[in-house]
Amino acid sequence: MTLKIGAIASGSGSNFEAIVEATKSGILKGKATVEVLLCNKAEAYCMERAKNHGIPYHLIESDKHEGTREEFDKKLVEILKEYNCELIVLVGYMRLVSPHFIRAFNRQVMNIHPALLPSFKGMHAHEDALEYGVKVSGCTVHFVDEKKDHGPIIIQKCVRVYDTDTVESLSERILEWEHKLFPKAIELYCDNRLHVDGRIVRVDGKVKYK
């Protein structure tokens, strides 16, 4: 069966588009489809990407929501359930999801972070990596739990940090791998190669990137 994916984004949506393209002509073709995009920012370009690919999208502005985080998330859950989404991917979603949201999808929620977790959590990962002077950074795909950038790690990719790097140059190099890593993590999920045991995610076989 084809896995039905729901995506949530707050920004440009380049990782969203990478996943969509993988479902149409890449490693996820015949394995998964992106059913819907939810966005919480009216100015976000991700909705234009969804429109260009013929994917339904919904704007639910968090800035205009006056209730609790859980109440906001209930709106998201309701829409995602309407599309029968089985796996939820957070593709640049700049809000922490509530325990209610995670339970609603039985913890089948993935996120990508532009650093090698558990290092450099939060919104300024590249700045923090450069300030700390690390020689290697990268990106991480992980299952989402109740804490920020904390859930079980699925796969990671190391990217070298150069002395001449800026936030822009490092983020561009890491983003190239984000676009490969997230579809790969979803492929592993589709192929039932992921086995979660507490904080440990065991992956069957070798993970190869194209």
Q: Which residues are catalytic?
A: 113
Dihedral, CA of residue 155, residue 8, residue 31 and residue 175, to nearest 10: -40
H runs (alpha helix) in 26-157: 46-52, 69-82, 99-104, 125-132
- Residue keyed to tokens 């990719």: 157
CA dihedral (61, 63, 66, 70) in degrees, to 10, reads 70
Residue 175, phi then psi, degrees to nearest 5: -60, -35
